[in-house]
Structure formats: C-alpha cells, structure tokens
Amino acid sequence: MKLIVDYSEKQQDILRVESAKYLADYKLEISFSDGLKNIVDFLPFLNKSSHPEIKKYLDLGLFRSFQIIEGNINWNDFDLIFPISSLRAAKL
C-alpha cells in the first residue's frame, strides 16, 4: 500500500502567527492565520517564573527582541517560545 499526502494543502490549515506588534510594557498584539487578533500580556507569566532564563525577559530590551519564525513568536533562537494555542487564547 502506498500512501500519498499532499502537504501543501495540509499546511493551509495550520494555525500560525502572521504578525506581532509591540504595544507597551510586556504586551504584544498578535495576528493569527485564522484572522483572530489578540493582545497578550506576558508580564504575569514572566513575574511568576522563578527560572533565571525566563526572568531575564523582564528586561524590556530583550523582551522586545522577538521574531516570528515558522509561524510562531520566538525569542533568542527558541530560548523563549509559547504554544500557538496559548497565545491564541491569551493564557500563558
């Protein structure tokens, strides 16, 4: 049996971050491929963490250095990244 999958068609259904705009403090406005736009406040997550590798993003210069890579928001080459579902729900 040979199974053939057309990945180009499947990839259209994958939820991804289309854009992210820094607003203020630790808030980003995030636009998703399904048309939803959310404002996500990362401050509660950053404050709650006790891990120094996460806490360092309380430095606004580091926090603002995010990039969108492969449909997700990422900081410093995947040093900090969140599930798309959490970003979409605005619950970190």
SS3 label, residue 91: coil
Separation between Cα atoms, residue 60 and residue 41, nearest integer Å: 13
What residue has token string 């006790």? 50
Q: Is the pLDDT of residue 5 over 90?
A: no
Separation between Cα atoms, residue 55 and residue 19, nearest integer Å: 24
pLDDT at 14: 87
> What's the pTM?
0.83
pLDDT tens digits for range 18-64: 999 999 999 999 999 999 999 999 999 999 999 999 999 999 999 99
pLDDT at 20: 97
pLDDT at 21: 97
Separation between Cα atoms, residue 5 and residue 21, nearest integer Å: 35
Region 15-89: CATH code: 3.30.2020.10
Helix (H) or strand (E) holding 86: helix 84-89
* 8 Å CB contact between 10 and 28: no
